[in-house]
Amino acid sequence: MFLAGSAIAAVLIGGCVGDNPAPQDHINRTVPPAEASALIEEKKQDPKFVIIDVRRPAEYAGGHIPGAINIDSAHLSGRLESLDRDGTYLLCCQRGGRSAGAREVMEKAGFENVYEVKGGMSAWQAAGLPVTGV
């Protein structure tokens, strides 16, 4: 039993420290609202930085992060070809569920710099961060 466990551990460790480490320039993760706000400030002059609100249009119209565009999560897959895979994206929804799914869709499609706002617009507003379109 011990030998079998040791063999499995060796394979797992070998797979993690092989000759081809994962590129360090790939960033796909969830960030709290304050960090998302700092990212927006840092990237505001970058034409390849896009904030995408993945909520339904009526939700978006009720208030969103300034500068965000609206791509309903239900239609995101069909819009991926119009997005630059080399860009940096910040995704937001109402509470974090739809943006997590959207981030996964984008990752599988080859997007390498995708962030999502932890807790979505609910957390963004609770943090007192700016909202437009209200």
Known catalytic membership, residue 16: no
CA distance 102 to 21: 26
Tokens read off for 14: 């070998």
Q: Among 93, 100, 121, 123, which one carries the catalytic annotation?
A: 93
Burial (CB count <10 Å: 0-12, 13-18, 19+), residue 68: buried
Tokens read off for 22: 């994962």
Residues assigned a catalytic role = 93
